C-alpha cells in the first residue's frame, strides 16, 4: 500500500513538472529534427525543429565575441534570421539588455521562441515573423527602433526559395543584404555595431562592394585571405559593417567628426574595406559603443 502511495506522489510530481514546461505562448506543432548541446551554454541543449537551420561552425567567431568579450552585455540587440535562436539566446544569456530576433521561416520563429523559453525562462526574447512577401531586413522593425548591436548570419547565396528550409541558404537577388545595408544607418544607435557572418567568397565580395557604394567601411575580423579560400568555407568569416554616420569622415582608418578632419593628415574617404588588425574597430566604438 505504501509503495502505491509513493508511486502516486512521483506521478503527481512528474505531471506538475511537465506542466511547468508547457507554455500557452509556444507553438508545439513542429516536428523536432534533433537536439544539440552547445559549448557556450554547458549542460543545456538546443532543440532544432524540422526545416530550421543548424550549423554552429558558421558563427564560431561571433559567439566568441558574445561570450568572451561581452559585446552584447547591457546592449539592445537585433538578430536578423535567427533560426533556432542560437545567437539571440546566447546574447540573452550574456546579459543583453533586450533582444529582438526575426525570421522568415515560421518554424524558425516557433523554434527560437521555444528554445528561449526553455533555456532562458526568466528572460524575454522578442521573436518576430517576417512576411515572405515583404522580406526586407527591417520590415518588422519600427521606424524609430534603434539597436546597439545588429547581427546576422544571413543566407549566403542568391537563389530561388522553393521550400521553407531554403531560406537559410538563398537570399533571392540579395534583397536581404541590400535592405540590411540600406536600413543600417537608421537603426543603429550612435556607436552601435553591425556584425555579419558569411562563409561564401562571392557574398563577401558583394557585401564589400555594396557597402563601398553606400560609403560604408567594412572591417574583416578574420586573418584568412579570402582569395585562398574555396567558394564556400567554414568556419564563417566575421565582418563588421560601419556606416559612416552623418557628420563623420574616415581618415587613416579611423572615424572622425567631420570638423576634426585635418586635410594634411592623410586622404579622407567616405568608406572603405579594411583587412586584418586596425584601429578602426576600437576607434569607431570608443564612445558609447560596444567594446571588444
Ligand X SMILES: C[S@@+](CC[C@H](N)C(=O)[O-])C[C@H]1O[C@@H](n2cnc3c(N)ncnc32)[C@H](O)[C@@H]1O
How far apart are alpha carbons 94 and 244 in whole angstroms? 28
Q: Where does the chain show beta strands of DSSP type E? A: 32-37, 45-49, 76-80, 98-103, 125-129, 147-152, 188-200, 217-220, 232-242, 248-251, 254-257, 268-269, 273-275
Task: Give min distance, CB of 70 to ligand X, in A.
Answer: 20
Nearer to ligand X, 72 or 176 (CB): 176
Burial class (CB in 10 A: 0-12, 13-18, 19+), 53: buried
Task: Give min distance, CB of 173 to ligand X, in A.
Answer: 11
Nearer to ligand X, 136 or 191 (CB): 136
Nearer to ligand X, 7 or 132 (CB): 132
80 binds ligand X (CB under 6 A): yes
Nearer to ligand X, 188 or 280 (CB): 188
Tell me which residue of 105, 149, 99 sits closest to 126, measured CA to CA. Answer: 99
**Which of 72, 83, 218, 248 touches ligand X (CB under 6 A)?**
83
**Which of 77, 78, 100, 108 touches ligand X (CB under 6 A)?**
108
Count of chain residues binding ligand X (CB under 6 A): 23
Whether 220 contacts 272, CB under 8 Å: no
Q: What are phi and psi of 202, to 5 degrees?
A: -60, -40
Residue nearest to ligand X (CB): 81
Q: What are phi and psi of 85, to 5 degrees?
A: 95, 10
Q: With CB under 6 A as the contact rule, which of the stretches 1-9, 84-92, 258-266, 267-275 interacts with ligand X?
A: 84-92
**Which of 65, 110, 176, 221 touches ligand X (CB under 6 A)?**
176
Q: What residues does 73 pair with on adjacent strands?
A: 96
Whether 168 contacts 105, CB under 8 Å: yes
Strand, coil or helix: what is 285? coil
Q: With CB under 6 A as the contact rule, which of the stretches 64-72, 78-86, 213-221, 254-262 interacts with ligand X?
A: 78-86
Task: Give min distance, CB of 93 to ligand X, in A.
Answer: 15
How far apart are alpha carbons 5 and 166 in whole angstroms? 53
Burial class (CB in 10 A: 0-12, 13-18, 19+), 230: exposed
Nearer to ligand X, 84 or 211 (CB): 84
**Which of 110, 113, 130, 204 touches ligand X (CB under 6 A)?**
130
Task: Give min distance, CB of 81 to ligand X, in A.
Answer: 2
Task: Give min distance, CB of 208 to ligand X, in A.
Answer: 19
Q: Residues interacting with ligand X, by CB under 6 A? A: 53, 58-59, 80-84, 86-87, 102-105, 108, 130, 135, 153-155, 167-168, 176
Amino acid at each position: 500500500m505504501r509503495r502505491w502511495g509513493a508511486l502516486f506522489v512521483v506521478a503527481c510530481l512528474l505531471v506538475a513538472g511537465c506542466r511547468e514546461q508547457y507554455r500557452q505562448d509556444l507553438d508545439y506543432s513542429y516536428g523536432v529534427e534533433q537536439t544539440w548541446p552547445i559549448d557556450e551554454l554547458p549542460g543545456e541543449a538546443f532543440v532544432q525543429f524540422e526545416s530550421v537551420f543548424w550549423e554552429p561552425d558558421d558563427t564560431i567567431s561571433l559567439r566568441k565575441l558574445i561570450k568572451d568579450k561581452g559585446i552584447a552585455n547591457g546592449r539592445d540587440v537585433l538578430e536578423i534570421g535567427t533560426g533556432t535562436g542560437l545567437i539571440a539566446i546566447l546574447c540573452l544569456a550574456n546579459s543583453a539588455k533586450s533582444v529582438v530576433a526575426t525570421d522568415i521561416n515560421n518554424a524558425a520563429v516557433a523554434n527560437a521562441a521555444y528554445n528561449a523559453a526553455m533555456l532562458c525562462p526568466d528572460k524575454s526574447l522578442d521573436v518576430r515573423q517576417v512576411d515572405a512577401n515583404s522580406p526586407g531586413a527591417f520590415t518588422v522593425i519600427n521606424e524609430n527602433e534603434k539597436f546597439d548591436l545588429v547581427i546576422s548570419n544571413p543566407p549566403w547565396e542568391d537563389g530561388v526559395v522553393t521550400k521553407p528550409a531554403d531560406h537559410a541558404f538563398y537570399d533571392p537577388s540579395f534583397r536581404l543584404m541590400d535592405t540590411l545595408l540600406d536600413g543600417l544607418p537608421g537603426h543603429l544607435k550612435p556607436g552601435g555595431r553591425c556584425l555579419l557572418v558569411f562563409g561564401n567568397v562571392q557574398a563577401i565580395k558583394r557585401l564589400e562592394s555594396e557597402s563601398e557604394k553606400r560609403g560604408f567601411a567594412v572591417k574583416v575580423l578574420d586573418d584568412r585571405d579570402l582569395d585562398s579560400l574555396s567558394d564556400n568555407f567554414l568556419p564563417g568569416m566575421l565582418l563588421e559593417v560601419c556606416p559612416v554616420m552623418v557628420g563623420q569622415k574616415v581618415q587613416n582608418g579611423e572615424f572622425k567628426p567631420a570638423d576634426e578632419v585635418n586635410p594634411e593628415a592623410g586622404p579622407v574617404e567616405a568608406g572603405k574595406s579594411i583587412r586584418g588588425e586596425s584601429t578602426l574597430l576600437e576607434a569607431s566604438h570608443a564612445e558609447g559603443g560596444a567594446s571588444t
